[in-house]
Amino acid sequence: MSTEGRAFDLDAGWRLDDRVAVRPERFGALLYHFGTRRLSFLKSPALLDVVRTLADHPTARAACAGAGVGPPELPRYRAALAELAVSRMIQPRSV
C-alpha cells in the first residue's frame, strides 16, 4: 500500500492500536491487527522501539529520537510510520 500523497505528521502524538499484537523477532517484529487481519513486518529493532514507545512520547519525532534515530534516518522512519498509519497499526493519540 503506497503512502504517496499522504503526509505523516511526526510532530503529532501516535500510539499502537489496541487491537495490534506485537511479536518481537531478531529482524525486528511482526505486527498483527486483529481488526483488519493484516500482518506487518518491522524490519529493524529500532523501528520496533519507536512503535512500542509512541504512546510514551509527546510526538512520533520524540519517539524516534528516544530510539536513537538521527536526522539522516528520519525520512525512512517517517515513511515506515506512514505505512503503519495507513494500515491502521498505529493511530493518532487523542489529546
Domain boundaries, the chain: 14-88
User: What is the structure's pLDDT at 3?
Assistant: 43
Task: Write the pLDDT tens digit of every residue in 7-48.
Answer: 799 999 999 999 999 999 999 999 999 999 999 999 999 999
Rounded distance, CA 94 to CA 80, Å?
21
User: What is the structure's pLDDT at 6?
Assistant: 57
Long-range contacts of the stretch 32-37 (C-beta < 8 A, 24+): 33/87, 33/88, 33/89, 35/88, 36/87, 36/88
Rounded distance, CA 18 to CA 2, Å?
23
| pLDDT exceeds 50 at position 95 | no
pTM for this structure?
Answer: 0.89
User: What is the structure's pLDDT at 7?
Assistant: 79
Distance of CA 59 to the CA centre of its chain: 12
Mean pLDDT of the chain: 92
